[in-house]
Chain A
């Protein structure tokens, strides 16, 4: 049994609130307050109905207690495939909070924000070098917004050539964001089937390509962790029909310093700074999704772009808005700057050798886990793995134990589960990405847990099917949650309370 405190349910803010408590102090108002209420009553609310009233002490305890109900990368392996849950260096948190960077208002005159602009310029240059692209926009707030930005640029490119085209081709193994982003950019989505190796079927692609197709969106390495080794032929086939090649860079961690999208015929791709470049995932975000482009797409980049100029006053960094072919803006200001600071610090900390070692170790760790688990777990696609490996629950069919059960049972062994039931082309998929952050001992402990769960599944399947047993709450009724949605606390709702 775990200590009681770990299981103790924490009341909601609104339940622990007591009238008259406060957790905040302001200096005395240094101007005549009467002026404030010159506002006619029709503008003013009597109070913020339902808002909590808590002392500072209670707020701190509430959130500290809540935090203890979470798993986190600093507690151990977090092998979510395609999410690249790696260590978030603490120095990055510190530098992003330096007052000279954290307290700068986005409307500061350019000449007073040269440090911010230079950092953005230098990060862009580093990303161009890492990815082999000509320019990057740092504006998109996350990978999906990067996809959308990239596809909008593709559309602008085709439109300028007289026909925006109608179709985006997407392999059936792709992330759901790909079709959604393409749709949001005004395109019709058509899936491309994978071949028996789990890669793009080049023949099927060639047959489908015509003047309707605007772009192929390809994830490389794909969501099975397999490198699309025919990527050069794919790029040639796509370009031969006037279409472009988009690469989803979610899995870039697999080959940083080893190979570059720009050398593979990729015209445009996004990367996730919260994956490859170590910025923390924050329980859901913020991320950042910079988009790299080749020269042909540069005119369409979102505004503003940062330009470095050398003049008689020395080096200056300027924001350029005067770009008539730009797609516009996908968000206010310049991007998730705080995440750019962290990513830049990460690049500097690793340098060229460290970045390569990062990718090498990520691939080494994934292959090590594959070697340890392959004899026991079903491996649906046997091509060489890069940064992640996808297993399935097929070998436990007779025992009636499924991927979900294995995932839940891992929690009892102290691990966060892997990504499950994705990619969709594998039934009962378990997608495991250990990243370079894990020691051999941590990988061994995970492998042992997986092997013991396999034994348990055969010996005592009920134990696995009813897992987890040691977590603050056990399996939750998700169907009921969706059928009768309760999306906020309310004082009148019966049955509240734990």
Chain B
């Protein structure tokens, strides 16, 4: 029945010949095992078919409805960051041998993917200052949930302590993952300077049953740099692991490797390394840890080995941790991960290299620090936190931040994220992010426009 389709080679003549070979009279006979009452008698109520030309026009129209995004000067961060990506990144991940291949279960014909992941694991370890990294998780928030579960596996205490400086979406995902498991979450607040309160952490970690982990974000959700070493001491004195979540990995080009500051697990969101914003996904969860966590690591790991002729090669390894072997006893249910996004990040890191990533980080920090200074000097604006920042910070406006975003949107400017989207009590606070893609003129304009709100 029907005509052929460009994605489906079998013509009507092929179908007839193949049915003869199989020995059934018609296509419908192949579906005889589906009870007749369940078989559809009407075509599906979906649009299409569209030619390639129509399809492109239709999807371009959707893109066009995202109103005048290009004309807007944007200062949006909060878990997703605007960065420039070198052209080679998209060209290379556009190699069909990378993007149209499956998980490398057959290493002899998957060495490209396997070696690239092995290199990615190494790059993540180097950034983190830690021993091991996995092949990727879904994105930052679920990577954090998996990290908390990993800490609980190594040292089951039924309780973790979470800093209020962790991205509210990450905290929500952790709560969702832990909701059906016997792990309680205690939250500690911020000091006035915007950093996690180490004293409160000590108290929370020491209370009652103790905890398997202290979780902080660095730089934190408000953009502030945490005192990682102090928090690591607090965690370790209480026998807990320190988990550091990072939502903006470009910061690691400039900031001390958290692994060298006492972090036991570093995880977070890697999309800043060349993965498009794409309205929130697909992104890249990364996870690194000390060797002690090896057998408890979720997700895939690639290891180096030799073939029968002694040649170096790479394989998926330690799979006895994984669901396809251990089923309900696995360290995680993850199967499909974000392989191509890990490759993207690896190519991005390779292209920037040692000098480039640092320079990129310096530009981000310098521009954000300039913006912070400009806004601090602008009438009616106030900076609520005093701690050092990386590339985002909170500014308190003279009016509600939601209203300011609406008003400035009319003027082609998206000045940041109203914190009230997550924290209703912080009605006038705006989270502003500045990266290498914001020229100084845009920053000056931001200051001028926010100054007019007073």
Of the listed stretches A172-180, A236-244, A454-462, name the one at the interface; the rest are far from the partner chain: A172-180
Most buried by B among A93, A255, A258, A473: A473
Contacting residues of chain A (106-156) with chain B, CB-CB under 8 angstroms:
106-109, 111-116, 118-119, 122, 126, 129-130, 141-145, 147-148, 152, 155
A126 & B334 in contact (Cβ 8 Å cutoff): no
A357 & B2 in contact (Cβ 8 Å cutoff): yes
* Given contact pairs A101-B62, A232-B38, A52 touches B339 in the complex (Cβ within 8 A): no
Give the Cβ gap from A233 to chain B, nearest Cβ, in Å: 10
Q: Roughly how many angstroms separate A493 CA and B450 CA in the complex, as a whole number? A: 55
B48 & A371 in contact (Cβ 8 Å cutoff): no
- Nearest CB in chain A to that of B44: its residue: A352
Contacting residues of chain A (259-296) with chain B, CB-CB under 8 angstroms:
259-260, 263-264, 272, 274, 278, 280-288
* Given contact pairs A100-B62, A330-B177, A473 touches B302 in the complex (Cβ within 8 A): no
- List of B residues within 8 angstroms of A498 by Cβ: 311-312
Q: How many residues of B contact A (CB 8 A)?
A: 206
* Given contact pairs A13-B119, A104-B66, A355-B44, A329 touches B172 in the complex (Cβ within 8 A): yes
Cβ of A400 under 8 Å from chain B: no
A232 & B35 in contact (Cβ 8 Å cutoff): yes
A95 & B99 in contact (Cβ 8 Å cutoff): no
B21 & A345 in contact (Cβ 8 Å cutoff): no
A63 & B347 in contact (Cβ 8 Å cutoff): yes
Question: CB < 8 Å: which of A52, A141, A231, A329 contacts B354?
Answer: A52
- Nearest CB in chain A to that of B132: its residue: A487
Q: Roughly how many angstroms separate A101 CA and B60 CA in the complex, as a whole number? A: 8
Contacting residues of chain B (56-107) with chain A, CB-CB under 8 angstroms:
56, 58-70, 72, 74, 76-80, 82, 86, 88, 90-92, 94-107
Q: Roughly how many angstroms separate A288 CA and B138 CA in the complex, as a whole number? A: 10
- Nearest CB in chain B to that of A480: its residue: B305
B64 & A360 in contact (Cβ 8 Å cutoff): no
Cβ of B367 under 8 Å from chain A: yes
Question: CB < 8 Å: which of A48, A145, A147 contacts B253?
Answer: A48
A52 & B62 in contact (Cβ 8 Å cutoff): no
A44 & B256 in contact (Cβ 8 Å cutoff): yes
Cβ of B155 under 8 Å from chain A: no
Question: CB < 8 Å: which of A104, A227, A280 contacts B279?
Answer: A104
A286 & B281 in contact (Cβ 8 Å cutoff): yes
* Given contact pairs A31-B370, A407-B106, A88 touches B99 in the complex (Cβ within 8 A): yes
- Nearest CB in chain B to that of A436: its residue: B8
B357 & A48 in contact (Cβ 8 Å cutoff): yes
B52 & A349 in contact (Cβ 8 Å cutoff): yes
B65 & A93 in contact (Cβ 8 Å cutoff): no
Most buried by B among A45, A257, A363: A45
Question: CB < 8 Å: which of B62, B172, B176 contacts A119?
Answer: B62
A-contact bits for B121-150, CB 8 A (1 contact / 0 none) = 111011100011101101111100000000
B112 & A66 in contact (Cβ 8 Å cutoff): yes
Of the listed stretches B9-17, B196-204, B205-213, B233-241, name the one at the interface; the rest are far from the partner chain: B9-17
Question: CB < 8 Å: which of A141, A227, A348 contacts B49?
Answer: A348
Q: Roughly how many angstroms separate A370 CA and B86 CA in the complex, as a whole number? A: 47
- List of B residues within 8 angstroms of A278 by Cβ: 7
Cβ of B190 under 8 Å from chain A: no
Contacting residues of chain A (1-50) with chain B, CB-CB under 8 angstroms:
9-10, 12-14, 17, 21-24, 26, 29-33, 35-36, 38-40, 42-45, 47-50
Cβ of B453 under 8 Å from chain A: no
Q: Roughly how many angstroms separate A115 CA and B305 CA in the complex, as a whole number? A: 48
A36 & B276 in contact (Cβ 8 Å cutoff): no
B101 & A73 in contact (Cβ 8 Å cutoff): yes
A71 & B55 in contact (Cβ 8 Å cutoff): no
Size band of the A side of the interface? 35 or more
Question: CB < 8 Å: which of B21, B100, B319, B337 contacts A73?
Answer: B100
* Given contact pairs A96-B278, A440-B17, A472-B111, A284 touches B86 in the complex (Cβ within 8 A): no
B328 & A471 in contact (Cβ 8 Å cutoff): no
Q: Roughly how many angstroms separate A54 CA and B313 CA in the complex, as a whole number? A: 22
Give the Cβ gap from B119 to chain A, nearest Cβ, in Å: 5
Contacting residues of chain B (320-371) with chain A, CB-CB under 8 angstroms:
320, 322-330, 332-343, 347, 349-360, 362-363, 365-367, 369-370
- Nearest CB in chain A to that of B104: its residue: A283
Cβ of B45 under 8 Å from chain A: yes
A70 & B317 in contact (Cβ 8 Å cutoff): no
- List of B residues within 8 angstroms of A352 by Cβ: 43-46, 48
A106 & B277 in contact (Cβ 8 Å cutoff): yes
Question: CB < 8 Å: which of A95, A107, A364, A475 contacts B30?
Answer: A364
* Given contact pairs A70-B98, A229-B33, A336-B282, A364 touches B48 in the complex (Cβ within 8 A): no
Give the Cβ gap from A159 to chain B, nearest Cβ, in Å: 9
B-contact bits for A66-99, CB 8 A (1 contact / 0 none) = 1111111111001010010101110101111111
Cβ of B423 under 8 Å from chain A: no
B370 & A101 in contact (Cβ 8 Å cutoff): no
Question: CB < 8 Å: which of B100, B253, B283, B342 contacts A280?
Answer: B100
Q: Roughly how many angstroms separate A152 CA and B178 CA in the complex, as a whole number? A: 11
- List of A residues within 8 angstroms of B452 by Cβ: none
Q: A49-B257, A116-B279, A284-B338 are in contact. List 18 more A-B contacts (CB 8 A).
A: A17-B353, A29-B363, A42-B256, A51-B349, A72-B96, A96-B278, A98-B63, A101-B63, A144-B336, A147-B333, A152-B176, A332-B283, A347-B46, A348-B49, A352-B43, A473-B313, A487-B132, A487-B133
| Complex A-B: 17 CB contacts under 8 Å | A14-B122, A23-B350, A52-B350, A106-B277, A107-B76, A126-B47, A180-B327, A284-B113, A328-B176, A332-B283, A337-B280, A337-B282, A348-B50, A371-B21, A386-B33, A440-B14, A487-B317
